[in-house]
Amino acid sequence: MNKFSEKPAVLSHAMALLFLAGPLIVNNLAIAGIGFADTVMAGRLGTADLAAVAVGGSVWAVAFLFGLGVLMAMSPMAAHAVGAGRAEEVGIYTRQCLWLSQGLAIVVAALIGLIAALLDDFGVDPSVVPLARRYLGAIAWGLPAMYAYLALRYMSEGVGWTRPVMYVAVISLVVNVFGNWVLMYGKLGFPAMGAVGCGAASAIAMWIALAVMMGYVIRHPRYREFGLTTAFDPPRGGRLKDLVGLGLPIGVSVVSEAGLFSAVALLMGSLGATAVAAHQIAINYAATMFMVPLAFHSALTIRVGHVLGRGDARTARRIGFIGIAMCGVVMTVSALVLLAFRQPIASFYTVDPEVRGLAVSLLTMGMLFQIFDGLQVGAAGALRGYKDTRIPMVLNFASYWLGAFPLAWYLGVVAERGPVAVWIGLIAGLMLTALSLNFRYILVSRRRLEAGVTMTPSGPPPAAGFAE
């Protein structure tokens, strides 16, 4: 490929990623909207209900994310199968992933029950514990449906059809908010259930999400070539082992990252209410903007997997670099917006001058935070496209728990440098993660290229086909 043809190819690859990522951005924002709605609507009920949703939601998130991470293995499995022209494998692995989803639902439900039983030992306010337990009991009924939905979702993402995921997320948001209104506040003849109603509404939304996705997958002709419903497969050890071997490291990585931010929130709690409030403002903004590169992360896994499946290691490597660069550019733009508007952003969240002042300082630190976060999530997505998950898991854990957290704890608590110093630890961890994962991607993609698995680059398929 000469220099005159490289620019159109880069643009074509970038557009293919953008068409894939667009619906996923909407999906991610809708999911974030569900959490926002739960918090706001619980807050209108009073302190006890808000605290129960906050405590129960934290327990739910950590346990739930582990299963979600494991099921993400379906995406690169499907992508490689499609790229290699083995469409029947998509159906085979999807049926096995559905079995896996139900096994995970049982395990995670048991884990949630165990943690709920130990809430008193975690120092949670005794007045909040019973309500938090009932919230968890209500939302846990949605686990089988949500994990089955995720199996179908990641299958659909893996074959390159991300629009159904967007539809389901928007429907789930509407159902969840309406369900909250009915069950939390006691509308349409239902009793007012408070925080428990919030959990029940979430569970109902999960079952409806599964029903909508199943209907789409069964009826839409695009899925017929995969033979998803042509056979009944019992659990098969070999296929399940493939999925677990690929997905378990992802699950550990996801929990490692989520656990880090939970631990940092606890550190902030030891530094006072102002620190907690300011930290929450900065993290909330960063988490919202993170939805964009997170969508590109999934798009990268899909595109790299497709191209590797058809044997084109050279093009796969190029797509990975393009996607990582796009994540970095998006977050750099976000950082510049933050630089220009950090004062108004802080004022939007709070009127307290002390909280606002500290939030501005943390948002300023958030500029570096965002850039490194974008680079690390882009590299992670590209590596998953290569089915490389074990070493990245080790790198994530080491960066977060041997680097970021000890540094944040020492600077913020031991050295008494305050909340800004805690964020220095966070940024250092993300920088380590970004550097190590990007180096890993360079190494893995080069090895794949040198292994002689490359064909003449054929370029990406028409971008529009990947957004359907």
User: H/E element holding 123?
Assistant: none
Whether residue 120 is predicted with pLDDT greater than 60 in this model: the reply is yes
Q: CA torsion 115→120→122→123, rounded to 10°?
A: 160
Residue of 62 and 159 predicted with greater confidence: 159
Q: Which residue has the higher pLDDT, 38 or 172?
A: 172
**Exposed e or buried b for every residue in 219-234, given b needs 16+ CB within 10 A?**
eeeebeebbbeeeeee
Residue 353: exposed, middle, or buried by beta-carbon count in 10 A (0-12, 13-18, 19+)?
exposed
**Residue 357 DSSP SS3:** helix
Query: Tens of pLDDT along 87-111?
Result: 889 999 999 999 999 999 999 999 9
d(CA 415, CA 422): 10
pLDDT at site 452: 59
Q: How far apart are CA 10 and CA 325, in angstroms?
A: 11
pLDDT at 297 over 90: yes
At 258-295, the pLDDT tens digits run 888 878 877 777 788 788 778 878 887 888 888 889 99
Q: Is residue 123's pLDDT more than 80? A: no
Per-residue pLDDT at 454: 42
State residue 467's pLDDT score.
37
The whole-number pLDDT of residue 228 equals 84
- What is the distance between the alpha carbons of residues 326 and 71, in angstroms, rounded to a whole number? 26
- pLDDT of 304 reads 94
pLDDT digits (tens, 9 = 90+) for 214-261: 999 999 998 988 888 887 888 888 899 999 999 999 999 998 888 888
pLDDT band with cut points at 50, 70 and 90 for residue 6: low
CA–CA separation, 265 and 259 (whole Å)? 10
CB–CB of 153/67 below 8 Å? no
In terms of C-beta distances under 8 Å and separation of at least 24 residues, what long-range contacts does 34-42 make, across chains too? 34/172, 34/173, 34/176, 34/177, 34/202, 34/205, 37/173, 37/176, 37/177, 37/180, 38/176, 38/180, 38/198, 38/202, 41/177, 41/180, 41/181, 41/184, 41/198, 42/184, 42/194, 42/195, 42/198
Q: Is the pLDDT confidence value at 464 over 60?
A: no
